[in-house]
Structure 1
Amino acid sequence: MRQIITAKLKLITSPEQFEALGHTQLAYRDALNAVSQYAFEQSKTSSVTRLHKGMYAELRARYHLPSQLACSVERQVAATYKGLWTKLKKNAEHRRAKITKKRFKGLDQPPHYSSPTVQYTYERDYTFQRESRVSVSTLNGRISLPYQGYDKHIALIRQGARIGDAKLWYDQARKTFYLLVSLSIEVPEPRADHLQEVVGVDVGIRYLAVTSTSTGKASFHPGKRVRHQANHYARLRKRLQQKGTRGAKRRLRRIEQRERRLKLHANHTLAKQIVEQHPHTLLGLEDLTHIRERTRRRKRKRKKNGKGYEPVSVKARKANRVYSQWSFAQLHTLISYKAALAGSLAIKVDANDTSKACPMCGHTAKENRPRKGLLFVCQQCHYCLHADLVGARNITMRALLVRQDWNRTGCLSIIPDASDREAKAARLRRYAELRWSPEVTNKPPVRDLR
């Protein structure tokens, strides 16, 4: 099994090389916007062939891009439009299913590229040389640059790891160019008998993650500090947007990058802790696809005269903002790739009713979580526990059931199939039969068939 990682290499440049890389980035960004405008005028096409026939000559003559960089521009714009068309089709399905009333506006105008990041193709736009040097393509030809980086990543490059595309990225704060190289490395294929433990991971906002082993050992990772910083940045962003000056816009960009780095650092640290605490483990994660559409507050009160709707309350707007800033997908991605490198395996299970179902008696109801708080109280058996820990235990039992099927059939499904409604309904019926026991071991969970 192959795992993709990114090596961040710092480029050591002279003043002339620094200027050459800067001109290349700006020309590449301008070319992206030109091709994006052309694709928009051509019925918002996502065809690489059509873009190549219409824009290749102009990219070479007007922006002086090398041939491979010109082709990379066309492929990148085509991929952007293809992604927007996919989102438009999903939005149409959600509107028909009345999941959302909001219309997707991503194709109302051509996408604008503001980041001057350049996409390089290995052995065409850049190659590695001896003595820790790399040759990269610019508007005026190739230049050879020394680089520095993480020792393990440099060792992988020298030992013959499969090298993919790279991005030329400029760190404005440090005034330094970096080359972000994609590396594909071989990791052992996980086997069911090598995974000694099963752990369920429940992610959230008040607690970034709560884990529970199959023997009941739990760990809590609070997110109060990250949530406090996010609220601070939201208030600051609101004031700067109202001000609207050039200095306010510059500071908006700075705090946006600062907030992104804060969340990435918190998720990296948390993922590393979870993976190191549970080596050789089958990690169960929730499949939270479309969670924002399901949790978004859309209810509005009718006006007294019966005409129109009142605006969403301040409390509802704040809740929607908090959910929109929830970086659960990033945390899941970090856990998955770190687990693969550490000899573990992360899988996803259905997230339906993980925080509403009682793990002891199976009773499922909204009333089990009074006022949607952190206390879980079963209305049938009166079992009381932390709500996020209940979710983690339910995920653990579902992951144990997946491992049981893996041992029996020899086939493993890393992500549950949500498109087949009948198959999903059958899985939910099996989940409803699972029961948690204080004496539970690493064996599959027992089903109560009474």
Structure 2
Amino acid sequence: MQTVLTAKLKLNTTPEQFKALRTTQLAYRDSLNYVSQYAFAHGKMSNAVRLQDATYEEIRLRFHLPSQMACSVPRQVGASYKTLWTKVKNNAVHRKEGKTKKRYKGLDKAPKFISPTLTYQYKKDYTFKKEQQVSILTLEGRVIVPYTGYNKHVALIQRGAEIGASKLWYDKPKKQFYLLVSLAIETADPTPETHKQVAGVDVGMRYLAVTAMMQGDCTFHSGKQIVPKANHYARLRKRLQKKGTRSATRRLVAISGRERRLKQNTNHVVSKRIVLQHPQSLIGLEHLTDIRERTKRRKGKNAKQRKANRTFSKWSFAELHSMIAYKALLHRSMAIKVDANSTSQACPKCGHTCKENRPNKGLLFVCQNCQYTLHADLVGARNIAMRTLLIRQDWIGTGLLSVRAFCVGR
């Protein structure tokens, strides 16, 4: 079984190399926008082969991109249009079913690519050299740049990990280039015998994660100190954007990424703690697809409703789930998705499910049938753990993971 990691390598460039990489990035972005305009003008095409046949020569002539990059551009644009078409079709289905009245407008105009991040193909656009150096293709030819990175990731690159495509990313505030390299490493195939324990993870805003095991052990990972900081950055960004002056724009550039890095670092810390606390375990996570639509307040357009809707989009739970998933595989565990329906409203003792089990949607769970009382987030984690245990029992009996489970790390 393969696990894909992303190694972030800092490129230590000279002024000449920096200029060459920046010029290549901007040319790549301009070519993306040219192909996007062409695709929109010709029926919003998403077929990468047809786009390449129609635009390859013009990309080489106008933007002077090397051949492999000129092939990567139509593929990237085609993938973007496929994603937008999927959203359009899903929106049409939801409108027909009465789930929403809004029409998705993502294809009303040609998508514009703003980020200058470009894609490199391994052994074609870039290769690794000895002594921590990497050869990267630019418009002016190849440049050999020394790099530094996380020691374990550098060791994987040097010791034969399967290397895939990479992205050249530019950190504008720091004026620094990074190479984001995908690495595929082999991990042991999971079996019921190697995953002897079961754990459930419930995510939320008061507590970023609550874990529970069938033996009764539990752990709370509080967001009391982190979430207010993230909210502060969000409010500051909103005020500066509203002001719109040149000094406000400079300030926005200076603080850009702080909120994202704060959340990312917190998710790394929480996910690592969870995985290390549950070695060789089957870790159940909630299947949160469309959770914002399912939990969104739809009645009224007042300030209270808008504030409630913002609450559900303040933290990156999908990122936290993905970090738990890949770290679990590295520690001989595995994360799976289970049904998230009514996990915080169902009694783990008698099974009675109703909204009244959580008075005023607070932190206290009181079963209206058997009067079982417990912390509401812990109830959610225990229900997830029990659903994970059912999937493991099916796995033991049939030899296959249930179709109800979705293996996050595969």
What TM-score do you get using the length of structure 1 for normalisation?
0.87
Letter in 2 for 1:392: A
Counterpart of 1:361? 350
5 Å-filtered alignment, 1:195-274, equals 195-274=195-274
Q: Which residue of 1 is the match for residue 365 of structure 2?
A: 376
Equivalence for 1:191: 191
Give 1:254 deviation, angstroms.
4.6
Of 402, 414, 435, 2:391 maps to: 402
Determine the C-alpha separation between the residues in 2 that align with 1:248 and 1:40: 35
The CA deviation at 1:51 is 1.5
Q: Are 2:64 and 1:64 aligned?
A: yes
Cα shift at 1:100: 2.0
Match of 1:165?
A: 165
Task: Name the stretch that deviates more: 73-82 or 92-101.
Answer: 92-101
2:305 to 311, 316, 327: 316
Matched, 1:94 2:94: yes
What is the CA distance between 1:132 and its match in structure 2?
2.0
Aligned-partner Cα distance in 1 for 2:151–2:334: 26
Task: Give, in angstroms, the shift of residue 324 of structure 1.
Answer: 2.1
- What displacement does 1:45 show? 0.7
For residues 221-243 of structure 1, the C-alpha deviation after alignment (integer angstroms, 9 at most, x for no partner) is 11122321232233223322321
- Residue 253 of structure 1 and its aligned partner are, at CA, apart by 4.8
CA distance in structure 1 between the partners assigned to 2:269 and 2:156 by the alignment: 23
- How far 1:86 sits from its partner (Å)? 0.7
Q: Is the 8 A contact 1:347 1:414 kept in 2?
A: no
Cα separation, 2, equivalents of 1:414 and 1:285:
15
Residue in structure 2 matched with residue 122 of structure 1 by the alignment: 122
| Distance in 2 (alpha carbons) for counterparts of 1:253 and 1:105 | 29
Q: Quick check: 1:388 aligned with 2:377?
A: yes
> Against the structure 1 CA distance between its residues 152 and 34, is the aligned structure 2 distance closer, same or farther, given a 3 Å change threshold?
same
Q: Is the 8 A contact 1:347 1:415 kept in 2?
A: no
**Residues 1:265 and 1:414: Cα distance change in structure 2 (over 3 Å):** farther
| d(CA) in 1 for partners of 2:209, 2:90 | 29
**Structure 1 residues 46, 250: CA separation in 2 closer, same or farther (over 3 Å shift)?**
farther
Aligned to 1:334, which of 300, 323, 327? 323
CA–CA distance in 2 between the matches of 1:45 and 1:343?
43
Q: Tell me the equivalent position of 1:181.
A: 181
Distance 2:313 2:96 in 1: 23
CA distance in 1, matches of 2:246, 2:382: 51
Counterpart of 2:172, as a letter, is Q
Deviation at 1:250, TM superposition (A): 4.0
- 1:346 is matched with 335
2:214/2:385 contact within 8 Å kept? yes
Secondary structure of 1:193's counterpart equals: coil
Letter of the structure 2 residue corresponding to residue 316 of structure 1: Q
Check 1:226–1:104 CA distance in 2 against 1; reply closer, same or farther (3 A cut).
Answer: farther
Q: Secondary structure at the match of 1:190?
A: coil
Q: Offset of 1:102 from its aligned partner?
A: 2.1
The letter of the residue matching 2:88 is: L
Q: What is the identity, as a one-letter code, of the residue corresponding to 1:243?
A: K
Q: Distance in 2 between matches of 1:123 and 1:65?
A: 17
Distance 1:218 1:195 in 2: 18
Instruction: Answer whether contact 1:279 1:343 (CA < 8 A) is retained.
Output: yes
Alignment RMSD: 1.5
Size of the alignment, in residue pairs? 406
Q: Is the 8 A contact 2:210 2:220 kept in 1?
A: yes
For each residue in 1:199-223, what CA deviation from the matched residue of structure 2 results, as whole angstroms up to 9, or x when unmatched?
1100111111001111111111111
Query: 1-side partners of 2:227 and 2:96: how far apart?
Result: 34
- Tell me the equivalent position of 2:150: 150
Matched letter for residue 328 of structure 1: F
Question: Could you say if the C-alpha distance between residues 67 and 319 of structure 1 is closer, same or farther in structure 2, counting changes exceeding 3 Å?
Answer: same
Q: Deviations over 1:241-275 (max 9, x none)?
A: 32122332343455452111111111111000100
Contact 1:346 1:414 in 2 (8 A): no
Q: Check conservation: 1:207, 1:223, Cα contact below 8 A.
A: yes
Q: Which residue of 1 aligns with 2:46?
A: 46
Q: Is the 8 A contact 2:348 2:383 kept in 1?
A: yes
For residues 286-305 of structure 1, the aligned pairs below 5 Å read 286-300=286-300
Q: Is the 1:358–1:378 contact (alpha carbons within 8 Å) kept by the matching residues of 2?
A: yes
Residues 341/135 of structure 1: CA separation in 2 closer, same or farther (3 Å cut): same
Cα separation, 2, equivalents of 1:324 and 1:109: 26
Contact 1:349 1:399 in 2 (8 A): yes
Deviations 1:370-413 (A, max 9, x none): 11111101111111110000011111111111110010000014
TM (norm. structure 2) is: 0.96
**1:77 Cα offset (Å):** 0.7
Q: Residue type of the partner of 1:50? A: R
Cα distance, 1:109–1:123 mapped onto 2, change above 3 Å = same
Answer yes or no: is the 8 Å Cα contact 1:348–1:414 preserved in 2: no
Which residue in 2 is equivalent to 1:85? 85
Q: 1:51-76 CA deviation, whole Å, 9 max, x = no partner?
A: 11222112111111001111111111
The answer to whether 1:131 aligns with 2:120 is no
Q: Which amino acid aligns with 2:119?
A: Q
CA distance in 2: counterparts of 1:103 and 1:263, whole angstroms: 31
Structure with greater Cα Rg: 1
3-state SS of paired residue (2:348): coil
CA distance in 2, matches of 1:51, 1:10: 33
SS of the aligned residue for 2:6 comes to: strand
Deviates more, 1:230-239 or 1:319-328: 230-239
